Structure 1
Amino acid sequence: MLDIKKIRRQPDWFKEKLATRGTKPEEIDEVLDLDAKRRDLLQQTETMKAKRNAVSKQIGDAKRANKPADDIIAQMRDLGDQISKLDEQVEKVEEEFHDKMSRLPNVPHKDDPVSLTEEGAIELRKVGHIRDFDFEPKHHWDVGENLGILDFDRARKVSGARFVYYLGLGAQLERAVYNFMLDEHMKEGYTEVLPPYIVNAASMFGTGQFPKFKDGVYQVNGEDMTLIPTAEVPLTNYYRGEVIPEEELPVKVTALTPCFRSEAGAAGRDTRGLIRMHQFNKVEMVKYTKPEDSWKALDSMTANAENILKKLEIPYHVIRLTTGDMSFTASETRDLELWMPAQHKYREVSSCSNCLDFQARRMHTQYRGKDGKLHYVHTLNGSGLACGRTVAAILENNQNEDGSVTIPKVLVPYMHGVTKITKENAVPFRNKH
């Protein structure tokens, strides 16, 4: 949520900055008009209430003096009716104002590349050696299906499109991946959390998914409860409505959770494989910091995500997203994209974002500084990493001509010593004899 006081002071600046994110100038004007109307109604209400208090005193004085007070009581009732009507108007305008404000995105950083599409993102660095295959590399879904460790057909039968069964060493590989990720983040000082997977509407509002992106989630129990689209939601809302002791900052937490997304608008995109699923596992990182520390925190969070890919020896690059492509709540987003040899391109596996105080204002999450005043914290989030996409990259980058897949060295201990997935060892119940 943006600061309405700042919008009042610099409306043209906000119009210019938010236009780079697709916000129309009239949307700012609507917010300012509602704000002015809201403040005018509140002033009228306060004036009426002050008048009612004065009339109430007159009634008391008249009764103590044994004087008739019928006219004054009638005036009191009339004022009460006027106040009730004004209160109703205030409530209606407040609701509309809050809705309009909640749909304005965060202000982009001054150095973010300006574009309303993903075109124009800046490549910050490229890391790792892209393997030169002496055979035509297969797509990860072909590798996985040929080994028998990925079963999309039976998942479609049971649940529908964009679901998968992991089997045998495929399931073990995904488990190895997320356990390795969690261990690495804990080495960097993150506290592991096992959060709820279902959250209420207030939590979805707090991190910015509601009200604008309701069509992208799965809601249960009417409209109040939602399956989490990312662990960012329960992790960031942990301190919602609270004042964090300053000495506890920065807070760094990480969690593995399933994520559930309806993928609305994704028809025809990535219909095969592990890239765009309705249900997938992801390790998330979240930080709460003081304002002066958040940009360094973004650098370190990005490094934490990169550390995983470096140790897995998966080629990747880091890009700075455009103003129109980054998340609604972010002021800056850096994406890590890993190399997919069969597709001959990089695919996103992590987004690391600094949201400044945007989410904290929505959640009312603050800390008390040394000056004794309350300040909003800054929140950051990043994938550390999306597990299915990481598995997909391992299958493609580490495939062999005979169809087997070599396990990255750092994962061998998590695979109980298995160094290669073959048709013979992939799914034990299919290879009993």
Structure 2
Amino acid sequence: MIDLRALREAPDRLRESQRARGEDVSVVDRLLELDAERRAALNQFESLRAEQKSVGKSVSAATGAERDQLLARAKSLSAEVKEAEARAERLGSEVEQLVTTIPNLVEDGAPEGGVDDVVVLEHHGTPRELDFTPRDHLELGELLGAIDTDRGAKVSGARFYFLTGVGAQLELGLLNLAMQQALASGFTPMIPPVLVKPEIMDGTGFLGEHSAEVYHLADDDLYLVGTSEVPLAGYHSGEILSAQALPHRYIGWSSCFRREAGSYGRDTRGIIRVHQFNKVEMFVYTHPDQAHEEHLRLLSWERSMLDKLELPYRVVDIPAADLGTSAARKYDCEAWIPTQGQYREVTSTSNCTDFQARRLNVRYRDDEGKPRFAATLNGTLATTRWIVALLENHQQADGSVVVPEALRPFVGHEVLRPLG
């Protein structure tokens, strides 16, 4: 949720953000008008209520005609106060409804454009020049006895799968390596619930433009999360944190669920775009003035994981129109996929500034003891999709796959070999 006070002081900032996102710019003027009407209605209500109290006190001391006049005025004021209060509440609801439709302010420096306009910040590592025709991750996974999509579809439908044998070992090893790195960096480990209340899902910004992606259990009115960002963002909802204790850094391990609505026909082979996967997610509450630097730290931790896995990748700055509702700035790391001849997203880290904290009422006390809204950030540290890049980049001509050295203690193999 955006800051209405900041909007009043610098409305052009929001206009520019809306324009960069490709969103409706006129909503800014509509919101300013509604906000002005609401504040005027509140002033009127307070003025009438003050007069009502004053008249009430005067009635007891008055006599005769004066008392009758005051009683008549008191009766009239009672109706006017109720009407003014109802108008202020109605306008307040309209302001609240409108402000919740507005995405976060884009951070200065974020690229303009949409999904096809990413800015490549750097490349790391060089894709191998293979002297054989590479197999894709699904073929490799089937040779290794690691991935079974046929039985996944039989049991659960399209875009489901089993990770079997070394496939399960590979995912558990990958996620445990990520957890170890996070713990060494001072994160608190968390295994959060994967079902959340509507106010938590909405508070993180996932029930707006992303609502079609979310599974909803109507009988229980609960939502399956698509990332542990959601329950971790709700963990301190309604709380006032100690400023001295910031930042709070959490590392969450959870199963994640996405409907993949609108992705019909895209990445249907293998485990690139699926309905259920596991993920280790970093989540941070910090002081707003420290959010930008914290964002860069999250990116560096993501890069460290990719380096450990010896994957060629690039870092991209996501354009404003592709940021999503809550993010003010987002960086992705994209790993090279040999059989596709392109880089594909494997990590994403977002600076959500105080946008989610305002919706979830997460605050801290400043040096003067006043409550202020915190900033929240998130970033992927490992997920099931990484198996795609691991298998394809480390494959050998005979269908075996070399396990990166950093991952071997967690997987228990140096080389994954095809089943006999």
TM-score normalized by the length of structure 1:
0.91
- Asked if residue 315 in structure 1 is aligned to residue 312 in structure 2, the reply is yes
CA deviation after TM superposition for structure 1 residue 93, in Å:
2.2
Partner residue, 2:272: 275
- Asked if residue 189 in structure 1 is aligned to residue 186 in structure 2, the reply is yes
Paired with 1:28 and 1:222, the residues of 2 have a C-alpha distance of 37
Partner residue, 1:21: 21
The count of aligned residue pairs is 420
Paired with 1:215 and 1:222, the residues of 2 have a C-alpha distance of 18
CA deviation after TM superposition for structure 1 residue 149, in Å:
2.1
- Asked if residue 118 in structure 1 is aligned to residue 115 in structure 2, the reply is yes
Paired with 1:77 and 1:156, the residues of 2 have a C-alpha distance of 71
Partner residue, 1:237: 234
Amino acid at match of 1:111: G
CA deviation after TM superposition for structure 1 residue 291, in Å:
2.6
Which structure 1 residue ranges, 5 or more long, are not aligned? 425-433
Contact persistence 1:169–1:421 (CA under 8 A): no
SS in 2 for 1:106: coil
Amino acid at match of 1:396: E
Contact persistence 2:145–2:418 (CA under 8 A): no
Amino acid at match of 2:399: G
Per-residue Cα deviation, 1:356-413 (whole angstroms, up to 9, x for no partner)? 222222222222233333332222111112x221111111112222222222222221
Q: Among all aligned residue pairs of Structure 1 and Structure 2, give the percentage whose two residues are the same amino acid.
A: 37
CA deviation after TM superposition for structure 1 residue 223, in Å:
7.7
Counterpart selection for 1:103 from 101, 104, 107: 101
Aligned-residue CA RMSD (Å): 2.1
Amino acid at match of 1:142: E
Amino acid at match of 2:251: T
- Identify the range of structure 1 (344-353 vs 122-131) with the bigger mean alpha-carbon deviation: 122-131
Paired with 1:60 and 1:215, the residues of 2 have a C-alpha distance of 62
CA deviation after TM superposition for structure 1 residue 322, in Å:
0.8
Amino acid at match of 1:350: T
Paired with 1:226 and 1:79, the residues of 2 have a C-alpha distance of 47
Partner residue, 2:85: 87
- Asked if residue 415 in structure 1 is aligned to residue 416 in structure 2, the reply is no
SS in 2 for 1:61: coil
Partner residue, 1:430: none
Paired with 2:126 and 2:331, the residues of 1 have a C-alpha distance of 21
CA deviation after TM superposition for structure 1 residue 193, in Å:
0.9
Partner residue, 1:429: none
Contact persistence 2:405–2:414 (CA under 8 A): no
Which structure 2 residue ranges, 5 or more long, are not aligned? none
Query: For residues 155 and 61 of structure 1, do their structure 2 counterparts lie closer, same or farther at Cα, with a shift above 3 Å needed?
Result: farther
Paired with 1:55 and 1:78, the residues of 2 have a C-alpha distance of 11
SS in 2 for 1:412: helix
Paired with 2:66 and 2:110, the residues of 1 have a C-alpha distance of 72
Per-residue Cα deviation, 1:165-184 (whole angstroms, up to 9, x for no partner)? 11111111111110111111
Query: For residues 81 and 212 of structure 1, do their structure 2 counterparts lie closer, same or farther at Cα, with a shift above 3 Å needed?
Result: farther
Amino acid at match of 1:119: D
Paired with 1:76 and 1:223, the residues of 2 have a C-alpha distance of 48
Partner residue, 2:249: 252
Within 5 A, what are the aligned runs for 1:28-427? 28-61=28-61, 73=71, 75-115=73-113, 117-222=114-219, 224-385=221-382, 387-417=383-413, 419-424=415-420
Paired with 1:47 and 1:421, the residues of 2 have a C-alpha distance of 80
Per-residue Cα deviation, 1:131-175 (whole angstroms, up to 9, x for no partner)? 111111122122213333212222222222111111111111111
SS in 2 for 1:282: strand
Paired with 1:256 and 1:344, the residues of 2 have a C-alpha distance of 31
CA deviation after TM superposition for structure 1 residue 334, in Å:
0.8
- Identify the range of structure 1 (309-318 vs 132-141) with the bigger mean alpha-carbon deviation: 132-141
Amino acid at match of 1:80: S
Paired with 2:139 and 2:257, the residues of 1 have a C-alpha distance of 24
SS in 1 for 2:385: helix
